Amino acid sequence: MTTFVMVHGAWHGGWCWRKLAQSLKVPGSDLYTPTLTGLGERAHLASPDIDLETHICDVLGVLETDDLRDVVLVGHSYAGIVVSAAADRAAGRVARVIYLDAIVPRDGQCLYDCASAQAKDYFEEQARVGGEGWRIPASAATVQFLGLKEEKDVSWVMPRLTAHPIRTFREPVKLSASFPQVPRTYVNCIGDKALGQPKSAQAADIEDYHELRTGHDAMVTAPDDVAELLSRIAEDTTA
């Protein structure tokens, strides 16, 4: 049986995997889509105290409480940092990590270390002006950044986004000297570009590399394609 644990990115919640869950058809598979503290339906828990460690513990809690084994751990966008740390600490429970257009950190790096200086300045300014200094308002996640083109996707995603705790972007991740301890896959969402693009900087150290011609929120814009690819990767992992 394949067990998927899918972790959403900034501003999102477990809800964002709903369309993908309907498309993901792996016989005997099990799917977990936790919502990180302070986001989605857990937005009422938002506070300035939420940091990267909070979100890592959210994922570890799912793995440990449900005693999950041979997990295919999927992280989208910001959650690439979260799943990296979770897989490092719980390597005995994880069969593979899949980065879906995600950040791939090295030890001691924070999200800002993996993004442009312009992005850092933008998020910090957004938090200062519209987030009381401790959270990045949902309005910072634009339709263009998420790669949403169809009105049905825009109208479904945008109202559900919630402010994101900024400490999670600032805090460096702590990875062991043994990282990575499990196989890794990178899925690069290249938009309308032709297949065969140069690897992104995030994917540079990952051999198992795939491309999807869709936007950043691929689980929304191309759920069937993402589901087919994840199913194939999972089958290769457990074969």
Contact status, residue 131 vs residue 161, Cβ threshold 8 Å: no
CA–CA separation, 219 and 178 (whole Å): 31
Q: Once rounded to an integer, what is the mean pLDDT over residues 19-41?
A: 88
168-181 pLDDT, tens digit per residue, is 999 999 999 999 99
Q: Could you tell me the residue ranges of all domains in the chain?
A: 3-238
Q: Which residues are catalytic?
A: 77
**CA-based radius of gyration for the chain:** 17
Instruction: Tell me: cis bond preceding 198? Omega within 30 of 0 counts.
Output: no
Query: Which residues are registered as beta bridge partners of 100?
Result: 76, 187
Q: Which residues contact 204 (CB under 8 A, 6 or more apart)?
A: none
What's the pLDDT tens digit per position in 190-206? 999 999 988 989 999 99
- What the block records as the tokens of 210 is 């795939």
Q: Which superfamily, per CATH, for 3-238?
A: Alpha/Beta hydrolase fold, catalytic domain (3.40.50.1820)
Q: Which of 99, 71, 72 is nearest to 84 (CA)?
A: 99
SS3 at position 189 = strand
* pLDDT of 239 higher than 90: no
Residue 189 has pLDDT above 70, yes or no: yes
pTM for the model: 0.97
> Is the pLDDT confidence value at 237 over 90?
no
